[in-house]
Structure 1
Amino acid sequence: MYRLYSGLAKIQSVNMKTSLKKCHFGSEELKALGHVASGVSLGIDKNKVAAVFMRPMPQNKKEIQSFFGFVGYYRQHIKDFSCIARPLYTLCDKETVFEMTVDRVKAFEYLRQALTNAPLLLMPDFKLPFKLYIDA
């Protein structure tokens, strides 16, 4: 109860307004900003991801940039995102003529599919040792 009280007091101290119908007390999960968060994990809101399959294949640079705006938001859930997206990123260059080659279509489809199968990101256990891998 103390945390709830202190949280509400903080909201009141900065003159924020809350909507009771948007408040959920005692929930184990929270859906916000396209994510589903719990005390131990962070996942993607499946309702938001369904929108990616409604999008047709990009036909111009604006559409590919819009696609990147969407999937880039969830990049932390897609292993090797930048390597997979590289063929599509080249389409954003001013000098590049827009052409969806086989590699680019594969990258587009892979990213769409990866969002639907995106794993939950687990919170670290700070009692265990960490291993850090870098490619510098």
Structure 2
Amino acid sequence: RWKHVLAYIDDIIIYSKNFYEHIQHIEEVCSLLQEANFKLNVNKCEIARSEILFLGHLITEGTIKPDPNNIRGLVETKEPTTAEEAFRFVKAAEYYRKFIPKFSIIAAPLHKYSPSTVNQQKINKSKFILSDDARTAFHELKKILTTDLILGLPDDTLQFKIQ
């Protein structure tokens, strides 16, 4: 029933194969929203867009990419000088893990700076030194984030393999 709608909290995306279908889908969704006494903020509505930013992703016909502004922020991150900074970076990069093959393997050295691990190992916060493998992971993730990260949407009329 909901093959043309994505919703997250109070954001809704209606997607369609062509303009005619799009108008039908909009009418259907608006009718259901009205029945449920939901109100739309007209100032937030964008209709018949060929690309849209949604939850940190740039969605176009057939592709999904990370929001370039979010990627820029990650790429411009300076090398961590605290365990908290190292962990904050890896958690932010993790949001885009689906674009990075073998993310968990690459990022593993940075995960050892999680608050629970730091507390368990009683790492001295005043004498923080980023390990060589964590430094390599940090720079490798930044390098990968500068590449053209794209997910293609599958053609559900054909067979495809999920990796």
- Normalised by the length of structure 2, the TM-score is 0.71
Aligned to 2:140: 110
Aligned to 1:70: 92
Q: 1:65 to 1:11 in 2, by over 3 A?
A: farther
Q: What is the root-mean-square deviation in Å for CA atoms of aligned residues?
A: 2.1
1:6 aligns with 2:28: yes
Q: Which has the higher contact order (CA 8 A, sep 6+)?
A: 1
What's the CA shift string for 1:25-80, capped at 9, x where partnerless?
11111111110112311111101111113322222222222112211111000111
Query: How far apart are the structure 2 equivalents of 1:42 and 1:32?
Result: 10
Q: Structure 1 regions of 5+ residues with no counterpart?
A: none
Aligned to 2:103: 81
Aligned to 1:125: 155
Query: How far off its partner does 1:89 sit?
Result: 1.4
Aligned to 1:51: 73
Residue type of the partner of 1:67? Answer: F
Query: How far apart are the structure 2 equivalents of 1:11 and 1:69?
Result: 35
Following superposition of structure 1 onto structure 2, how do residues 90-105 of structure 1 map, counting pairs within 5 Å?
90-92=112-114, 93=117, 94-95=120-121, 97=123, 98-105=128-135
Q: 1:114 to 1:96 in 2, by over 3 A?
A: farther
Query: How far off its partner does 1:118 sit?
Result: 4.3
Aligned to 1:33: 55
Query: How far off its partner does 1:132 sit?
Result: 5.3
Query: How far apart are the structure 2 equivalents of 1:116 and 1:21?
Result: 34
Q: 1:12 to 1:85 in 2, by over 3 A?
A: same
Give the match's secondary structure for 2:64.
strand
The structure number with the bigger radius of gyration is 2
Q: 1:55 to 1:14 in 2, by over 3 A?
A: farther
Q: Structure 2 regions of 5+ residues with no counterpart?
A: 1-22
- Normalised by the length of structure 1, the TM-score is 0.83
